[in-house]
Amino acid sequence: MRIRIGSDHAGFALKEAVKLHLLATEHDVVDAGPASDDSVDYPQYALKVARAVAAGEADLGVLVCGTGLGMEIAANKVPGVRAVQVSDPEFARMARAHNDANVLTLAGRYTDEPTAARIVDTFIATPFDGGRHELRVAQIRDIENGVGLD
Ligand code: RB5
């Protein structure tokens, strides 16, 4: 799978750890930066990763900031992106199975490396269930397109 990964300074260390973990798998990992833990603004990196996923240049995105929350909010502003902040592998599974989430955001200051690896592995390995969830995800797309917002 093609994975695009990015962070801010607060997520840099965990981003590097997750990247190393993924590079040891069969997945194709592209790092959108940053290249150091110098202070940066998380929306810039959320945009890079979210755009790559929305454009189909990556299958899934992983974003790490201090809490994962700013990245989640920013990534969700890009149409076609369903970003979820996850701190537990079971929620990673549910976010893929029920919500067809395509961007995972992690809390660099609160999630340890082994837990992050389990979350990322679960997120990548879990397919969307489709079925009854298909219509609900389509309704999210409708909201994005302004349907029902009049
Ligand atoms: C940076 O201090 C911090 O605000 C950022 O990493 C993130 O947690 C924002 O949501």
Residue bearing tokens 């201090």:
66
Q: Ligand 1: which residue has its CA nearest to atom 8? A: 66
Q: Ligand 1: which residue has its CA nearest to atom 7? A: 66
Cα 127 to middle of ligand 1, angstroms: 30
Q: Catalogue all structural domains in the chain, each as residue range(s) with its CATH number.
A: 2-144 (3.40.1400.10)
Contact between 41 and 66 under an 8 Å Cβ cutoff? The reply is no
Whole-model pTM: value is 0.98
Distance between CA atoms of residues 150 and 33, nearest Å: 39
CA 91 from chain centre, in angstroms, equals 13
Q: Ligand 1: which residue has its CA nearest to atom 3? A: 66
Contact between 60 and 106 under an 8 Å Cβ cutoff? The reply is no
pLDDT in single tens digits along all 150 residues of the chain: 999 999 999 999 999 999 999 999 999 999 999 999 999 999 999 999 999 999 999 999 999 999 999 999 999 999 999 999 999 999 999 999 999 999 999 999 999 999 999 999 999 999 999 999 999 999 999 999 999 877
* pLDDT score for 149: 79
Q: What is the dihedral of CA 146, 101, 75, 49, to 10 degrees?
A: -130
Please identify, by atom number, the ligand 1 atom nearest to the C-alpha of residue 107.
8
| Phi–psi pair at 16, nearest 5 degrees | -65, -40
Q: How far is CA 84 from CA 25, 38, 87, 122, in A?
A: 23, 25, 10, 13
Residue bearing tokens 């990556």:
58
65 given a catalytic annotation = yes
